[in-house]
Amino acid sequence: MDGWRSWFCGKLSSWGPPLTPDQLIALSILSPAVGALAIALIGRNNDAGYNPRDIVTVIATLITFGFVVKLAGPVVAGDRPELSLFEVLPGLAIAFKIEPLGMLFALVASGLWIPTSIYSFGYMRGHHERHQTRFFVCFAIAISAALGIAFARNLLTLFLFYELLTFSTYPLVTHAGSGKAVKAGRSYLGILIFTSVSFLLLAIVWTWQTTGTLEFRPGGIVSGHFESSRAILLLALFVFGTGKAALMPFHRWLPAAMVAPTPVSALLHAVAVVKAGVFTVLKIIVYVFGIEFLTDGNYALWLCYVAGFTLIAASLVALTKDNLKARLAYSTISQLSYIVLGAALATKTSIVGGGMHIVMHAAGKITLFFCAGAIMVASHKTEISDMKGIGRQMPFTMFAFFIASLSIIGLPPLGGAWSKWYLILGALDAQQFLMVGVLIVSSLLNIAYLLPIVVNAFFFPTTEVEIGGGIKEAPIACVASLLVTAFSCLILFLYPDFFLNLAQMIGEF
């Protein structure tokens, strides 16, 4: 095993041009941004046919992913590459340092950018969306911001990119430009800015003012400076301040943002934006508070209950939604709380579970969104009740949907099984038997709101009389990408080692 790993790590870091780790960090954050610039310059005003910006986009995604993968080798091997840029305020620098959790998130974000871009070509054309150049530009900037969050070495850098992510995704959410989209954008921006400015920034300044540092450190920085109620208050400010984690009662923006084009929902609201939120929560709990500090003082217990509540409540709401994207949105809220719960349980195993769930949920949920988008493009259906018998019309799409659903539910042989396994183990470790119950009940609820869609699609006759019947799938670019991501759920079950390794190293800075 060890030999295999070192071979693999060596392979990861040695391919491609020889670059030092700090150059790689800069390059991986810059290449999406440069890509955005290139797309803006090259993009033609042609939204229907061939457009050179597509090639630029694909190249940018591949290059970015390449850089991130090249960085993964040293990180798995135990190195912590870092890069300091300049000091913004005395003692506060824009600086990056890659630790396993950040690597995990960066791999997910940059990796899933590739299929999403390819999917977008098909979807945006098929759906006759306008302003596609702006769309791809903002998309690339958002990825750049997500990588910045992943690699941040201190809270200031993280906050900078966190806000950049909010603002760069705003034009994506409001892409349609309709009154509904603008309104959704308002609640998107309103909630995210309100929470981040009022709570998160306050928490950051408070930490800075009390501890004199904002660096992420193994074991945390607040122990010894905060105690009892002040520690709980600080934790609450941090967790609720991270509005992107969609913890109730600050979850409203997520369903609202579903008016965005589906690729946006897929990448940003199943992968980059929400994952940036839960990643921030995990990172803050592990590297700002420190697991020992939280368990010693039992400071995160309330957070377990909040997360547990969100988990169940969002699943119940999902059951009531007939709009497919809305149901998926509430499912996302519920799944995010798994990760927050993993962080709140604050045991080694539960953190591993939380970290793993970032990966597993990303692969599963992006597939589900791709499917929802594909259905929309091919048959213009958005309501679940209209989708009876659609499995005959779109067999590949619905098969992928089935696979991804199973992964979200957490059944083997699919990736989701691993993260739920570790989360339940973590809950047992922490002696939180109630939370074990919550996790199990929620899995049952997942079955209840996801599988009926599949059953409907395959086993019910169509409600309308389809002329000719036959297979009528979405554009090939869409179907190909959703099959790839569905397949990745399977791969993640069979070969979880790499991510498991990273997740188990969380906390080693």
Partner 1 sequence: MMEQLPALQVVLPLFSALLCLLIRNKTASRLFAVAVSWGCLAIALILLRTVQETGIISYHFGGWFPPLGIEYRIDLLNAYVLIIVAMISAVVLPFGVGHWGLSIPEGREYLFFCAFLLCISGLLGITITGDAFNVFVFLEITSLSSYALIAMGRNRRALRAAFTYLVMGTVGGTFILIGIGMMYLETGTLNMVDIANRLPLAYGSRTVLVAFAFLTVGVGIKLAVFPLHHWLPNAYSYAPATVSAFLAATATKVSYYVLVRVIFTLFGAAYIFETLRFHVLLIPLSLLAMFIGSTVAIYQTNIKRLLAYSSISQIGYMTLGLSFASINGLTGGLVHLFNHALMKGGLFLVLASVMHSIASNEIDDMRGLGRKMPFTMAAFVLGGLSLIGVPGTVGFISKWYLVVAALEKGWYPIAVLILLSSFLAVIYIWRVVEIFFFREPAAEKSIKEAPLSMLIPTWILIGGTLFFGLQTEWTAGVAGSVANFLLGGLP
The footprint of partner 1 (CB under 8 A) covers 86-90, 94, 156, 159-160, 163-164, 167, 174, 177, 181-182, 185-186, 189-190, 193-194, 197-198, 201-202, 205-206, 208-210
CB of 381 to partner 1, least distance (A): 27
Residue 233: CB minimum distance to partner 1, A? 10
> Which long-range contacts link 34-39 to residues 24+ away (Cβ below 8 Å)?
34/60, 35/59, 35/60, 35/61, 35/63, 35/64, 35/140, 36/60, 36/136, 36/137, 36/138, 36/139, 36/140, 36/141, 36/144, 39/133, 39/136, 39/137, 39/140
Please state the closest distance from residue 324 (CB atom) to partner 1, in A. 26
Helices 324-345 & 273-283, crossing angle to 10 degrees?
10
How far from each other are the two terminal CA atoms of the chain, in whole angstroms? 23
- Shortest distance (Å) from residue 64 CB to partner 1: 21
Which of 120/166 has CB closer to partner 1? 166
Say how far apart CA 363 and CA 415 lie, in whole Å: 8
Q: SS in 3 state form for 445-467?
A: HHHHHHHHHHHHHHHCCCCCCCC
Q: Which amino acid makes up residue 489?
A: C
Shortest spacing between CB 277 and partner 1, in angstroms: 17
> What are 224's two structure tokens?
């010894």
How far apart CA 183 and CA 450 sit, in angstroms, is: 28
- Please state the closest distance from residue 507 (CB atom) to partner 1, in A: 27
Q: How far is CA 505 from CA 171, 292, 352, in A?
A: 37, 16, 8
What would the two tokens of residue 87 be? 């000091």
Greatest pairwise CA separation for the chain in angstroms: 72
Q: How far apart are CA 275 and CA 269, in angstroms?
A: 8
Q: How far is the CB of 298 from partner 1 (least distance, A)?
A: 24
Q: Closer to partner 1 at the Cβ: 93 or 378? A: 93
CB of 90 to partner 1, least distance (A): 8
In terms of Cα–Cα distance, which of 476, 477, 364, 486 is closest to 120?
477
Smallest distance from partner 1 to CB 169, Å: 14
CB-nearer residue toward partner 1: 283 or 327: 283
Burial (CB count <10 Å: 0-12, 13-18, 19+), residue 300: buried
- Would you say 81 and 74 are in contact if contact means Cβ atoms under 8 Å apart? yes
Cα–Cα nearest to 351, from 268, 407, 430, 443: 430
Using the minimum distance from each CB to partner 1, give the nearer residue, 159 or 338.
159
Q: CA-to-CA distance for 264 and 271, rounded, in angstroms? A: 10
What is the dihedral sign for C-alpha 424, 430, 433, 434? negative
Nearer to partner 1, 55 or 205 (CB): 205
Which of 162, 299 has the CB closer to partner 1? 162
Nearer to partner 1, 236 or 425 (CB): 236
Which parts of 121-193 are beta strand (E)? none
Q: Tokens 């409540």 identify what position?
A: 313
**In the complex with partner 1, which residue's Cβ is closer, 50 or 86?**
86
- Shortest gap between Cβ of 48 and partner 1 (angstroms)? 20
What would the DSSP string read from start to end of 230-266? HHHHHHHHHHHH-GGG--TTS-THHHHGGGS-HHHHH
> Of the two residues 197 and 313, which places its CB atom closer to partner 1 in the complex?
197
Closest approach, Cβ 135 to partner 1, in A, equals 14
Nearer to partner 1, 52 or 177 (CB): 177
Question: How many CA atoms, within 13 angstroms, populate the side-chain half-sphere of residue 408?
Answer: 34
Nearer to partner 1, 94 or 143 (CB): 94
